[in-house]
Amino acid sequence: METLDKIKQQIAENPILLFMKGSPKFPSCGFSAQASQALIACGEQFAFVDILQNPDIRAELPKYANWPTFPQLWVEGELIGGCDIVLEMFQRGELQPLIKETAAKHKTDTPAE
Amino acid sequence: MLIHTAIEQKLLSAFDPVFLDVVNESHLHNVPQGSESHFKVVIVTPAFNGMRLLQRHRAVNAIVAEELAEKIHALALHTYTPSEWYEYYAEKPPVSPRCYGGNKTEKASV
């Protein structure tokens, strides 16, 4: 599958999706670590893609997203932002309702990996 | 020109900020000494009025696109409108530490 199609499919199939370096348990970058910590603190399941394991996605996604860096949080097909935005939203109490409402809406769907 | 200076100048002319702080944080990361790889920007400008965080970050990223694409590895962004900034600091103003006596204390203790 073309990388771009793969990206679009991942974004379409996972309502809460974090593209990051490493995994939430073993992040390979401080910014990815902070973003995934904030997401975990929201208490809902989310999907992630380790871009270090997927160099094609790492190369293509910034162009598609019009966002130059990682991590990237996508919710319901829309880019929310990178680490600073995720943290700022979390501190303002805006991230939690967004994640909770999205998770509740998609509960009947197949859970993400 | 230093990347640091280039980022500063581009942001100054693009956004006419009331406050701008560009910090080279590369020393906090696993890169050679003297690197210009990781930066943090705190920028306060009325240009952000009515823009969501995503739009603000995109606007900044666009101005330093060349640096982001070729030269730097990370750019942390903290973007505020003047009213957000004043509100933010109304709760925790950036005060400098009070004087502990300085010369007088030293002289007194001699």
The pLDDT value given to residue A111: 54
Q: Could you report the per-residue pLDDT of A14-46, keeping only the tens digit for each?
A: 999 999 999 999 999 999 999 999 999 999 999
What pTM did the predictor assign? 0.82
Which pLDDT band, with edges at 50, 70 and 90, does B89 fall under? confident
Predicted confidence at residue A1, as pLDDT, reads 80
A9 shares contact with chain B (CB less than 8 Å): no
Q: How far is A40 from chain B (nearest CA, A)?
A: 21
The reported pLDDT for the residue numbered A109 is: 56
Please state, in angstroms and rounded to a whole number, the distance separating the CA atoms of residues A44 and A18. Answer: 13
Give the mean model confidence (pLDDT) for residues A5-21: 97
Q: Which residues from chain A sit within 8 angstroms of residue B63, using beta carbons?
A: none
Nearest residue of A to residue B40 by CA position?
A84
Which ipTM value was assigned to this complex? 0.79
Q: Is B68 strand, coil or helix?
A: helix
CB B88 within 8 Å of CB A91: no
CB contact A4 to B (< 8 Å): no
Residue B60 has pLDDT above 80, yes or no: yes
CA–CA separation, B63 vs B14, rounded Å?
Answer: 7
Query: Among partner residues A31, A81, A89, which is closest to B57 by beta-carbon distance?
Result: A81
| Alpha-carbon gap: B76 to the closest alpha carbon of chain A (Å) | 7
